[in-house]
Amino acid sequence: MDSANSIVNDFITKLTEIVEVNLTNPQFGVSMLAKEMGMSRSNLHRKVYLITKLSVSQFINHVRLKSAMEILRHTSYTVSDVAHQVGFSNTSYFIKCFHEYYGFTPGEVGNREEDERNALHLQTNKKRLKIVLFSIVTVVVLAIVFFIVFKPFKGLNKTIAILPARIEVPDTRDSTTIDGIIQNVIQNLLLVEDIKKVVPWHCVLQYKYSYKQASVIASEIKVNYLVKPTFRLIDGKTYLSFTLIEELKDKLIDTYNCEIDLNDVTTVDSKISKKIADQINAQITPAEEIKIDKPITTNNKALKYYMEGIEQINLWR
């Protein structure tokens, strides 16, 4: 048993060290880590998930965020400087990930530590008070656990909404194409019987420029899963990134980056649809997969005209 634990610890330590060596490289991801480890992507994902219950991209993100916390605690660098030091090319995205992981923003680190030091000075040594507080906390925790385990969730219903993509590129002329891809993904997911609810495009348009928290949006439109797409440009290549969030825990489940060739988007929605279905454990039947894989047209120019037409229809709704 000790030998097995040692092997696991050595594996995680090596992964962490490799990520830390490449910390400043925003392009360092799953493929590069797998190459450094001498493993295939699938084997690396399987082993990391077995040990940590995290995807490889989540594991890399967590290493970056832990390093960011150490830098923030012991230096006076700005949040933007720290973001770039730990491999986040986008400061806003770094702040979002940091807040989701720690529950507070990077700018609050110094204040929170000061608050924690003050709280330590205010602690009481009264034994009776400790016993009472411990008893109350125990009762509350047991009540919460009982409620979660036995009452509401015999299985999380697969209800999902995909928000309009946030555009993070200077040239927004392709936003119609990106919106069209998202709409096609929604239509594909509507074909999957195992997904009980997919919110229509015209119902999520109101959140196109919204900064509401994911849990608030999911609660308003009554879904358990929320997908937040982002269109960005990295090293001259265009990507659609999808962040999947579980409403119940307001927790980021996974992120998925899909490289987009804007000169040929006829099949990209099929790939994205199946990936999202897989992320929420929705079963796609062979018949449904055939329908999802069938493109609206194989002519990219015709597809873009179709998307522009759909956009005009949506404007009049």
DSSP-assigned states of every residue in the chain = -HHHHHHHHHHHHHHHHHHHHTTT-TT--HHHHHHHHT--HHHHHHHHHHHHSS-HHHHHHHHHHHHHHHHHHH----HHHHHHHTT-S-HHHHHHHHHHHHSS-GGGHHHHHHHHHHHHHT----HHHHHHHHHHHHHHHHHHHHHHHHTT-SS---EEEEPPPEEESS--TTHHHHHHHHHHHHHHHHT-TT--EE--HHHHGGGTT----HHHHHHHHT-SEEEEEEEEEETTEEEEEEEEEETTTTEEEEEEEEEE-TT--TTHHHHHHHHHHHHTTPPPPHHHHHHHHS-S-S-HHHHHHHHHHHHHHHHT-
pLDDT of residue 131: 75
- Fold of the domain built from segment(s) 2-113: Arc Repressor Mutant, subunit A (1.10.10)
Angle between helices 175-190 and 268-279 (to 10 degrees): 50
Q: What is the pLDDT of residue 253?
A: 77
Distance (Å, whole) CA 121 – CA 268: 58
**pLDDT at residue number 121:** 56
Q: How many other CB atoms are there within 10 angstroms of residue 23's CB atom?
A: 18
Q: Which CATH entry fits the domain spanning 159-315: 1.10.3720.10, 3.90.550.10, 3.90.1150.10, 3.40.50.11830?
A: 3.40.50.11830
Give the pLDDT confidence score for residue 22 in this predicted structure.
93
With 0.75 as the threshold, say if the pTM is over it.
Answer: no
The pLDDT of residue 235 is 79
Q: Over the Cα atoms of the chain, what is R_g?
A: 23
Same CATH fold assignment for domains 2-113 and 159-315: no
Q: Residues in the chain with pLDDT < 70?
A: 1-2, 112-128, 146-156, 170-173, 248-250, 298-317
Q: Where are the domains of the chain?
A: 2-113, 124-150, 159-315
